[in-house]
C-alpha cells in the first residue's frame, strides 16, 4: 500500500505537502477527533466509569494506529489500562518516552458547568470540556504531531515510545509497579511528560521541578472512653491538648520544620536557579489578593515563589476529636487525630521523612497518652536541569512555535510518574506542557486555548527535529 502510494506520488507533479500545509488541511478533522475523544467520560476515580475509561483506551489505541504509531497495545495493570505504542525506525537515534494520561477528574459540581462536561464546545478560541487541558488535549496533540510528521515525511527523526496512563487522576496506583515489571520493554534516553502548562498569562514554560509528598496520620489515645472533665480533669492527660502540643512542636514561628534531620537531604538551588526564579514575572501582592488571604507567610529567608515550589513544607490537613456539637459538653475526649503532610524536594526520601516524623513525635509526646503515627504513602520529588540537551531542544521548539523563549518554572505539586521514570527507568524527565495556568483543570468549565493545542502539535514536531539535531551534533 505504501509502495502504491509512493508510485502514485512520483508520477504526479504534486509535491509532498509540508507539515504546515498538511496541518492546515486536516484541522477540521483533527478538531472533530479531539471532540470525539473528549466525549468519552473516562473518570478513573469513580467505579461506574470503568467501562468508559476502557473505551477511551480503545479509542486512543485506534487513533495511535491511524497516526502510524506501531506496536500499539492496551496493557493491563490491575486497574485501568496503559496504552502503549512506538515508532522505532530512527536507527541509532535517541529514544524519547512520551507520557500523558487519558483519564479525567470527576465533574462535580455539575451545576457550575456552563455546558455539559462531556459535550465539548468551541467558544472564543477555546475548547471547553472535561479533559480538554488535563490531559486529553495534550495526549491528542502528541498523537496528531506524530501522525502529521509521518504523513508528510514517512518517518520520524527520532525513536519514540508512548505511554498513556488511565489512572493519573486516581493516584497512579498501578503505574509504578507496571514500570518495574516492564522496564526492559520501554528503554529510553529521556522522558517527556506533557501534563503541565505555561506560566502566568500564557507565557511558554518548561517545568524543571516538582515536589514529592509524605502523608501521615497521628492518632492520640487517652482513656478507653470520654471522661467527665469535672471528675477527672486535673488527673489525666487530654488527648486533644496533647495533640496540639505535638503539632505545635513540628514547626517553629519562623516556618522552619523542627523534625531532626528533616532538611539533611535537601539539595539547595544553585545561584543560577535562584536568579532564574527571581526573574519570573510574579507579584507577591497580586498573588496574595488572588488567594484572598490577609498575608503571605512561610519559611523565613525564602521568597514566595521558592517557598511554594522549591522548599519542603509541613501542613496539617485535618484535625478532629472530642465534642463538636451545639452547646456544651464537659468531657475529656478519649481520642484525637490529625492528618499531616509534607511536600518534599530533591533528595528527600518520603520513607525517611516519615520515619523522622514518627520518631520525633514519639520523643515529644506528652505523658499519659498513647501516640501512633501511620504512614499514608507518598512519592519522591523530581528535578531536571534546564541545561539538559532535551530541555534545551524543547525550549528552542517552543520559542520557534510561540515566539517567546520559555521560562523555566517549578511546580509545587507532584506528578507521581515523574519520579518513577527517574527511579525505575533511570531516565531524566522533561516536563513539556501546553495549558494555561487558569484552565480550570479539576474544576468546572475546563478549557484549552485552541492556539495552544495547535501550537503544541507544531512544537512537538519541532522538538523531535531539535532532538535529532543534538544527535547530529547540529545543536548542543
Ligand atoms: Zn493531569
Give pLDDT tens digits for 440-461.
998 999 999 999 999 999 999 9
Dist CA 102 CA 186 (whole Å): 19
In whole numbers, what is the pLDDT of the chain averaged over residues?
93
Average pLDDT over residues 3-13: 43
pLDDT of residue 413: 87
Least confident range from 33-42, 98-107, 438-447: namely 438-447
Q: Which of 52, 103, 454, 465 is catalytic?
A: 103
pLDDT of residue 17: 77
Cα–ligand 1 centroid distance for 193 (angstroms): 10
Instruction: Kindly state the DSSP code that residue 23 receives in the 8-state scheme.
Output: H
Dist CA 463 CA 466 (whole Å): 5
SS3 291: helix
CB contact set of 135 (below 8 Å; sequence gap of 6+): 100, 101, 102, 168, 194, 195
Cα–ligand 1 centroid distance for 383 (angstroms): 18
Residue 319 in this model has a pLDDT that exceeds 90: yes
pTM given for the model: 0.85
Cα–ligand 1 centroid distance for 409 (angstroms): 17
Cα–ligand 1 centroid distance for 100 (angstroms): 8
Dist CA 162 CA 99 (whole Å): 6
Cα–ligand 1 centroid distance for 170 (angstroms): 10
Q: What is the crossing angle of helices 27-38 and 50-67, to 10°?
A: 160
Cα–ligand 1 centroid distance for 370 (angstroms): 40
CB distance 418 to 173 below 8 Å: no
User: What is the dihedral sign for C-alpha 168, 413, 403, 451?
Assistant: positive
Nine cell digits for residue 342: 509534607
pLDDT of residue 475: 41
CB distance 459 to 398 below 8 Å: yes
Per 3-state DSSP, what percentage of the chain is helix, strand, and coil (rounded to 5)? Answer: 40, 20, 40
Q: Which long-range contacts (CB under 8 A, 24 or more apart) does 172-176 make?
A: 172/416, 172/417, 172/420, 173/79, 174/77, 174/78, 174/79, 174/80, 175/77, 175/82, 175/416, 175/417, 175/420, 176/416, 176/417, 176/420, 176/424
Interval 199-258: pLDDT, tens: 988 999 999 999 999 999 999 999 999 999 999 999 999 999 999 999 999 999 999 999
Q: What is the crossing angle of helices 136-153 and 450-471, to 10°?
A: 50
* Predicted confidence band of residue 14 (pLDDT cuts 50, 70, 90): low
Q: Which of 134, 165, 167, 168 is catalytic?
A: 168
Average pLDDT over residues 28-56: 97
Cα–ligand 1 centroid distance for 136 (angstroms): 9
Cα–ligand 1 centroid distance for 102 (angstroms): 9
Cα–ligand 1 centroid distance for 139 (angstroms): 10
pLDDT of residue 471: 60
SS3 82: strand
466 is catalytic: no
Interval 117-176: pLDDT, tens: 999 999 999 999 999 999 999 999 999 999 999 999 999 999 999 999 999 988 888 999
Dist CA 287 CA 199 (whole Å): 13
CB distance 112 to 440 below 8 Å: no
264 is catalytic: no
Nine cell digits for residue 77: 495493570
Amino acid at each position: 500500500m505504501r509502495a502504491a502510494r509512493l508510485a502514485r506520488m512520483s508520477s504526479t507533479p504534486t509535491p509532498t505537502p509540508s507539515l504546515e500545509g498538511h496541518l492546515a488541511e486536516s484541522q477540521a478533522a483533527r478538531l472533530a477527533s479531539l471532540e470525539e475523544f473528549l466525549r468519552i467520560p473516562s473518570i478513573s476515580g469513580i467505579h461506574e466509569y470503568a467501562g468508559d475509561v476502557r473505551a477511551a483506551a480503545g479509542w486512543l489505541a485506534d487513533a495511535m494506529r491511524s497516526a502510524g504509531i506501531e506496536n500499539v497495545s492496551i496493557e493491563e495493570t490491575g486497574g485501568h489500562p496503559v496504552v502503549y505504542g512506538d515508532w522505532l525506525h530512527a536507527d541509532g537515534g535517541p529514544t524519547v518516552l512520551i507520557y500523558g494520561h487519558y483519564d479525567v477528574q470527576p465533574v462535580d459540581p455539575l451545576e457550575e458547568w456552563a455546558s455539559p462536561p462531556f459535550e465539548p464546545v468551541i467558544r472564543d478560541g477555546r475548547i471547553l470540556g472535561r479533559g480538554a487541558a488535563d490531559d486529553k488535549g495534550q495526549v491528542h496533540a502528541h498523537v496528531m504531531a506524530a501522525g502529521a510528521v509521518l504523513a508528510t515525511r514517512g518517518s520520524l527523526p527520532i525513536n519514540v515510545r508512548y505511554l498513556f496512563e488511565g489512572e493519573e487522576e486516581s493516584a497512579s496506583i498501578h503505574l509504578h509497579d507496571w514500570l518495574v515489571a516492564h522496564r526492559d520493554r520501554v528503554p529510553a534516553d529521556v522522558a517527556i511528560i506533557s501534563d503541565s502548562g505555561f506560566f502566568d498569562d500564557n507565557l511558554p514554560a518548561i517545568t524543571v521541578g516538582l515536589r514529592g509528598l509524605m502523608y501521615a496520620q497521628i492518632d492520640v489515645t487517652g482513656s478507653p472512653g470520654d471522661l467527665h472533665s469535672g471528675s477527672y480533669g486535673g488527673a489525666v492527660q487530654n488527648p486533644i491538648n496533647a495533640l496540639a502540643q505535638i503539632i505545635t512542636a513540628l514547626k517553629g514561628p519562623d516556618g522552619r520544620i523542627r523534625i531532626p534531620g528533616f532538611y539533611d537531604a535537601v539539595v539547595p538551588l544553585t545561584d543560577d536557579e535562584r536568579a532564574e526564579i527571581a526573574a519570573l514575572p510574579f507579584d507577591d501582592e497580586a498573588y496574595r489578593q488572588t488567594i484572598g488571604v490577609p498575608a503571605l507567610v512561610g519559611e523565613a529567608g525564602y521568597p514566595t515563589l521558592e517557598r511554594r515550589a522549591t522548599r519542603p513544607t509541613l501542613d496539617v490537613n485535618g484535625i478532629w476529636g472530642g465534642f463538636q456539637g451545639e452547646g456544651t459538653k464537659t468531657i475529656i475526649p478519649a481520642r484525637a487525630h490529625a492528618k499531616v503532610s509534607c511536600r518534599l524536594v530533591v533528595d528527600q526520601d518520603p520513607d525517611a521523612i516519615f520515619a523522622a516524623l514518627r520518631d520525633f513525635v514519639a520523643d515529644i509526646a506528652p505523658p499519659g497518652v498513647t501516640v501512633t503515627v501511620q504512614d499514608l504513602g507518598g512519592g519522591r520529588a523530581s528535578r531536571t536541569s534546564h541545561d539538559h540537551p532535551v530541555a534545551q531542544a524543547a525550549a528552542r521548539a517552543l520559542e520557534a512555535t510561540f515566539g517567546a523563549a520559555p521560562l523555566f518554572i517549578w511546580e509545587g505539586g507532584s506528578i507521581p510518574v515523574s519520579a518513577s521514570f527517574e527511579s525505575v527507568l533511570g531516565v531524566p524527565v522533561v516536563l513539556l506542557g501546553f495549558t494555561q495556568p487558569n484552565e480550570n483543570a479539576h474544576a468546572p468549565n475546563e478549557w484549552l486555548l485552541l492556539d495552544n493545542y495547535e501550537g503544541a502539535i507544531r512544537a512537538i514536531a519541532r522538538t523531535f527535529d531539535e532532538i535529532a539535531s543534538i544527535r547530529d551534533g547540529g545543536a548542543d
